[in-house]
Structure 1
Amino acid sequence: MPYPTTGPATWFVTGASLGLGLELVKQLLARGDNVAATTRSTARLTAALESIDTSRLLALPVNLADEQEVVDAVAAATDRFGAIDVVVNNAGYGLLGAVEEISDTEVRELFDVQVFGAWNLLRAVLPGMRVRRSGHVINVSSILGLTAFPGWGAYCAAKYALEGLTQSLAGEVADAEIRVNLIEPGYLRTDFLRASLRLPGRTADGYAAIREMTDAHLAMPGTQLGDPAKAATAIITVAETGTAPLHQILGSDSYGLATARVQSLTRDIETGRPLAVSTDITETAG
C-alpha cells in the first residue's frame, strides 16, 4: 500500500506558504507527518507556522521552473526524511484577462509554475517511487481544469495541460503501484484572489464584460463557499484511503459546474455525431 500504515508519512508539498498549501502543511505537521515544503519565501512560511511544532518541517526555497533546484530539493528531502510517500503539486497563481490581452511572457511564466514546475518535480520523484513500487502523486488542478470561463483562458489552459499529463501519468505508473489523483476545487475562502491573482500588463478595448468579472473577483474574498481546512483534510483523506477517483472534485460549486460541463459536452458529441461518423473510410465490396 503506497501510504505508510505505520510511522509518519513523508509529504512533499509545493506552494506551501499561502492558501490551501499552507493549510495542508499545518494539518500534516499537527498529525506528526514529515513535510518538505517548497515556497518562494521561507520567511513567509515559517512566520505563518510560528505557533506550530516545525521539527518535522523542511522549508525549501525553490523556483519550480528551475529543474536543478527541484532536483536538489527532492534530494534534500530524501536525505532528511528518507523516501517521499506523497507529492502534492499545489503551486500556482491566477492570471485574469482576455486571451488577446495576455502577453507571451505572462502566459509562459504561468506555465512555468503550473505545468513545467509540476513536470520537473514528477521527473525528480518518480524514479525512486518506481524502484520502491510505492508512492502517491496528487496534482491540484481546479474546476477550471474541467470547464472554462471568459477571462480565465490562460489559467484554464495551464490547468487543462496539468489534467492531461496527470491522466496519462496515472496509466503509465499504475503497474508500479503508484497512485495518482487530480484535486479539482471550486472557490476556496483563501487569499488566492488577493495574493495570487495577476492581471495582464495591458488591456484591450471591447472587453467590458471581462472588466466587470475581474472587479467581481477582486471583491469576492471572504465570500467564497469552500473551506480550505476541509479541503486540506480531504486531500489527506485521498492519500490515506487510496480509494478516491482520478478526478476528485471538492466543493458543491465545483460539483455543479462539473456536472453542467459533462452535460454540455455530451450534447456537443451527440449533435456532432452525423458529421463525425461521415469522415470514416467506406470500404467497398470487392
Structure 2
Amino acid sequence: MTFKAPRVWFITGSSTGFGRLMTQCVLRNGDKVAATLRNPAMLADLAEEFGTDQLLVLKLDVTNHQRILDTFAEAGKHFGRIDVVFNNAGYALLADVEGATDEAARAVFEVNFWGAVNVSKEAVRWFREENKPSGGRLLQNSSVLGFTPDAGIPFYVASKFALEGLSESFASSLDPAWNIKISLIEPGWFRTDVLSSNMDRSQVHPAYVHLPAATYHKHLEGNPLVRGDTEKAVEVIYAVADLPDPPIRFPLGRDCNESFRKQIANLTTIMDQYGSWSDELDVE
C-alpha cells in the first residue's frame, strides 16, 4: 500500500527510550503522532514545541483494555485515520525463574504480552474497519531476547517469545486484501533507560549465585555501556514502516544480527545431527 503524507502514528510507551525517540523521529519527519503514555506530563516539552495538529498526547496504561479502545478512538477522531502503530510499551524483570514472585512475573506479561496483544487487536481492527481505504502497519517492538534468550531475565524473555509467536501467527491469519502488515522489530542492546526506570529487580535465588544468572544481574546492575545508538535505530524503524512489503522479523543492531546467526547455526547443527531420528516416525 502507499501511504498519503503525512502518516499518522500511534505510539505506546512514549515517555522514554524507544517510544520517546520514535515520537521525536516521526515528528521531525513531518508525520503526525498520537503519543500515549501513563504520565502525559513527561511529553510537555514536545507538546509545547509541536501543535496539536501534529502531536496528540494521550494518557494510556496498556493493562487497561477499555482505555486502549478509548485512546484509539480519540486518536482516530483527532487525526481522521491511523496508519502506523508502534507497539512499544513494556518493561523488564531482572529475576531468575525461582527468584521471581508470581506477582512480579505475571505483571511483566500483563504489560509486555497482554497489553501488546490488546493494542495489536485494536490496531488491526482500526486498519481494517476504520481506515478508508483500509490498511496499516503494526510494528511490534520486541527484542533480541525474543529469539536468543539470556540467563537472569527469563520472564522478560518469555513475554517477548510469546509476543513473537502471537505476532507471526496473527500476521499469517490476515487477508492480504486488508493491506495490513505486521513486523517484529528486534533490537539488540541500545542506549536507553531500560536499566533504570523500566526494569524491576529481585535478589538472585541462593542456588544460582555461582551461575550465569547472577553474573548477568551484576552486569546489568553496573549499567553497562552498550554500542547501539537509539536515535539512529529509530530512523531505521521509521524506514521499515515505509517498506511496501516489510519482513515479519527485523533484527536491529549488529549484536542482534550476530546473536541470530549463532542461534540459527546452533539449530542447524542440531537438525543435522538428529534430524534422521524423525525419518521413520510417520504413520504408515
Does residue 218 of structure 2 align to residue 215 of structure 1?
yes
The code of the aligned residue for 2:190 comes to: L
Q: Give the Cα–Cα distance (whole angstroms) in 2 for the partners of residues 84 and 50 of structure 1.
A: 19
> Which residue in 1 is equivalent to 2:254?
252
Which digits, 9 at most, give the CA deviation of each residue in 1:25-75, with x for residues without a partner? 01111222111111111112224x367324321111111111101000000
Aligned counterparts, 1:127-138, within 5 A: 127-131=125-129, 132-138=133-139
Q: Give the Cα–Cα distance (whole angstroms) in 1 for the partners of residues 279 and 226 of structure 2.
A: 44
Change (3 A) 1:67 1:51: closer
Which digits, 9 at most, give the CA deviation of each residue in 1:116-170, with x for residues without a partner? 1111112222223123431111001100011111112111100001101111121
Residue pair 2:127, 2:134 contacting (<8 A) in 1 also: yes
> Which residue in 1 is equivalent to 2:110?
112
Aligned counterparts, 1:139-178, within 5 A: 139-175=140-176, 176-178=178-180
Change (3 A) 1:220 1:124: same
Residue pair 1:11, 1:36 contacting (<8 A) in 2 also: yes
TM-score by length of 1: 0.91
> Which residue in 2 is equivalent to 1:274?
276
> Which residue in 2 is equivalent to 1:97?
95
In structure 2, stretches of 5+ residues that fail to align are none
Change (3 A) 1:272 1:30: same
Deviates more, 1:125-134 or 1:263-272: 125-134
Q: What's the RMSD between the two structures over aligned residues?
A: 1.6
Give the deviation of 1:192 after TM superposition.
1.1
The code of the aligned residue for 1:216 comes to: H
The code of the aligned residue for 2:105 comes to: V
> Which residue in 2 is equivalent to 1:224?
226
Secondary structure in 2 matching 1:180: strand
Q: Give the Cα–Cα distance (whole angstroms) in 1 for the partners of residues 175 and 273 of structure 2.
A: 35
Change (3 A) 1:50 1:82: closer
In structure 1, stretches of 5+ residues that fail to align are none
> Which residue in 2 is equivalent to 1:53?
50
Hey, which bits of structure 1, 4+ residues long, moved more than 3 A? none
Does residue 79 of structure 2 align to residue 78 of structure 1?
no
Q: Give the Cα–Cα distance (whole angstroms) in 2 for the partners of residues 275 and 34 of structure 1.
A: 55
TM-score by length of 2: 0.92
Aligned counterparts, 1:33-52, within 5 A: 33-47=31-45, 49=46, 52=49
Q: Give the Cα–Cα distance (whole angstroms) in 2 for the partners of residues 158 and 79 of structure 1.
A: 32
> Which residue in 1 is equivalent to 2:184?
182
